[in-house]
Structures are given as structure tokens and as C-alpha cells.
Copies of this chain bind each other. A is one copy, B any other.
Amino acid sequence: MSKKAKIRKLEKKVAKLKARVREARTHTHAVSPLAPKDGFPHLPVIGGARFSAVKAGVRYPGRVDVMLAELDPGTAVAGVFTRSATRSAPVLDCQAKLGTDQKAGAAFIVNSGNSNAFTGTNGVKAVEAITEEVARITGVPQNRVYSASTGVIGEPLPFERITAKVEELHGTMSADAIELAARAIMTTDTYPKGAGAEIKIGGKTVRIAGIAKGSGMIAPDMATMLVYIFTDADVEQSLLQRLLSDLTDETFNNITVDSDTSTSDSLLLAATGASGVKITEDTTAFIAALRGVMLDLAHQVVRDGEGATKFVEIRVTGAAADADARRHAMAIANSPLVKTAIAGEDPNWGRVVMAIGKSGAAADRDKLSIHFGDILVASQGWVSPSYREDEGAAYMKNDELVIAVDLGLGKGAATVWTCDLTHAYIQINADYRS
């Protein structure tokens, strides 16, 4: 047999076996190897917030796919959303509603299976119908009902399947059903994501509980990062919004799986005030706890990145400005060559240099230094004399990696988080026909 024929034969075998692996995987829903070891955490119960979820069959029968959260009168709501120019109808609706009278209650309704994005005027009609029905059943004013949708795009959302379930949702609300809500918003996520905190402020307890979904800008057609965080702290709306925007810049805006931005990304933060603890700009314990919950959820999204096998922190210091540091960090985190090198457990610092060079932010080749973990790999424009390739290669075998770059120019710093780029990413996004 000729060499070419042999290769063709082997390739066919590989393709067949791969299909079998894929099929087996589809049925076992293999959880990401980077998922939190202890499963979904035990989250604190938030006074003034109640949850429920149902099977509405939006796209697939037999799985919970719609969640409702109801919030007591007096709840402040803040939000941040995708900056995409092609954002979905629910996102535009939420943005228009933010900042309205906080004395009324509020409701969040979210479905998976269909993202109601790029659905023309039908998308607007669906949002209107859903939020109207939630308002009617719950008594919350419609301009305080926030909706979100995640799943396939470009297909009309069968909103009647959702409106038909609002009464059941409202009738089964419970203060401790947040994990079920986290499951209802999953699409290709391999595990539900939750994080919480309890802190003492002036002798009283303040609680925070959040859920998220997302694993890249994925699947089956276009997924989304959705995040809902609840606290019983008493926070004035404009302060809540300011805190949320600032902390998002330090957390969710510093993660990237594949550099692709969804049309539906939404993050809502509700403060019910049930704890009776008034928060000001100086309540640093609360701000730190909220930041911790947000960072935890952000990391969980990266840990569920499609095909991810490595969780990678990119730390950039010594930049001329913070914005420069972030630009370098994102260039490294998004570089396909850096990400494939990490997948291959290759301490390929040359590709890190390349990414810094292309980022567009200030850098001086002969002043920068690179660490992989504690190992000094390169400095002063060349590989470090102390560096040994086998040490670098051994370090790359870890599941969690830190790549640190010091530019030697100034005090600008930034940290971002990402995952590697593997065959499984290609498989999920190319091999499966959506």
C-alpha cells in the first residue's frame, strides 16, 4: 500500500473513533476537568428574594429551561450588558428599564434554548409578551420585569411556551431554589455555577448569592454569559450601579475564552435591603465580598470554557499605564498561538513576546521579563541564563498556570484569566453541526 493510501486509511479510522468518542460524550455530559471539585456551593438564603424554575420545552423537552426570580418592594437593581452593536431584544429592553423607581418589587425571567437574538421585530414582541405576563401574574410593574434569553439565534422565540408557565413559576417560588435557577439557564455549560458570601457589618449579617452561565461564545449556535447576583444589603440604586460597573471591570471584563463577544451578555445585581444594613461607598467589607463573588463566578465561566484543560492567569505589571497592561494581557490571553502552546504544555515564551509585540500598547523588547509560575524564563531581551527548558516543561503540566510579564516601563498593572485552545474547542464549534 502506498504511503498516501495508508494515511487515508488511518485518517478514516481516526474519524470513526472520534465520532464514537463524541457520541459517548454527548450522552455523559462530561464535566470540565477544571470544574470546582465540591460541586455547586451551599449559597446563603437572601431575604426578599425567591426563585423557581420549570420545564417549558423552549427547545428541548425534559429539562428545566425557564427560571423566575421575584424580589420584594424596595429592591434596587443594577445591570451591565454586552457592548455588542448587534445586541438582542431582551438586552435592549433591560437597558431601557434600569434606574426606574426602586420602591416597587422586581422580577427576572430567563430562558435557555433560544436567545431571541437577531429575530427582527418578532424579538421585541416576544419580550413584550413575556414581561407583560410576568407583571400580570406577580403584580410587579412591567418596567421592573427584566428578561433574558440564551441559546440558538435567528429563530423566533416560542414565547407562548414561556408565558404559559408563568403562573406555575409564580406558584412554586422558594427562597432556597437558587441552584435550580442556575441549572435552568445552562446551555452547553458542563456544570451550574454559583458563588456566595456572608459578612458581618455592624453586628448584622449581610448575604450575597450569585449564579452564572457561560462557557465561551458558543453553542448550539451562540451562547451567552448571564449572571444574576442577589444581596440583602440596602444599597441606593445609583451607588449599586456604580459599584457593579467598577467591579465588572475588575472581574467579568477580564476573562476571555475565545475573544468572541455574545449579543446577549447580561449581568443583573439586586439588593433587597432585607438585612437592614445600609451600604455606602466606604463599606469596604461589602465591596470586597461582592468583588469576591463576582470574581469566583467569572473564574467558573473560564473553567467551563469549551474544551478547556488549563486555567490560566495572565499578570502584567510594569506597564506605562493600567490600560496598556490590560491590552497586553488580553493580547496574550486571546492569541491562538499562545493558547495552543498552553494546550500542548509547551513553555513557548516566544509566543508571549510575539503577543506583547502585536498588542499595540507600549513595550520595550529589551526591558521585559517573563515568569511562568516562579520560573524566570526571559529577561533583558533574551532567555534568562538561569532558565532550564525541562523546568518550564514540567511547570506547564499543571492544570492552573500563571504567566507573569513585567514590562519594566512604569506602574501599570492588570490581571486577566483565560483557558487553553484545544481540539475539543474545534470539535464543539466545527464538528457538531448546529
Contact = CB atoms under 8 A, between A and B. Distances in A.
A359 B83 CA distance: 10
Given A118-B350, A357-B85, A365-B85, A154 B336 contact: no
Interface in A399-430: 421-423, 425-427, 429-430
Interface stretch (A135-143, A226-234, A340-348): A340-348
A380 interface: yes
A107 interface: no
Given A7-B25, A122-B382, A381-B118, A429 B337 contact: yes
Contacts of A262: 354
A103 interface: no
Contacts of A155: 383
Nearest to A4: B28
A32 interface: no
Nearest to A361: B85
Interface in A69-106: 82-87
A118 B258 contact: no
Interface in A350-367: 350-351, 353-359, 361-366
Interface in A1-42: 3-4, 6-7, 10-11, 13-14, 17-18, 20-21, 24-25, 27-28, 30
A334 B331 CA distance: 13
Interface in A210-234: 217-218, 221-222
Contacts of A154: 349-350, 353, 378, 382-383
A357 B261 contact: yes
A261 B25 contact: no
Q: Which of A84, A86, A344, A433 has the most CB of B within 10 A?
A: A86
Contacts of A391: none
Interface string A230-265: 000000000000000000000000000011111100
B263 A357 contact: yes
Contacts of A25: 7
A425 B423 CA distance: 9
Given A423-B423, A429-B337, A86 B344 contact: no
B344 A431 contact: yes
A275 interface: no
Q: Which 10 A-B pairs give the minimum distances between C-beta atoms?
A: A86-B357, A84-B357, A344-B430, A120-B382, A261-B358, A340-B429, A340-B430, A153-B350, A85-B363, A120-B381
Interface of A: 3-4, 6-7, 10-11, 13-14, 17-18, 20-21, 24-25, 27-28, 30, 82-87, 117-122, 152-155, 217-218, 221-222, 258-263, 334-337, 340-341, 343-344, 346, 348-351, 353-359, 361-366, 368, 378, 380-383, 421-423, 425-427, 429-434
Given A3-B28, A14-B18, A118-B350, 19 more contacts: A7-B24, A82-B357, A86-B356, A87-B357, A118-B365, A154-B378, A154-B382, A155-B383, A217-B354, A221-B351, A260-B337, A336-B336, A336-B425, A336-B429, A344-B432, A346-B430, A346-B434, A421-B430, A426-B426
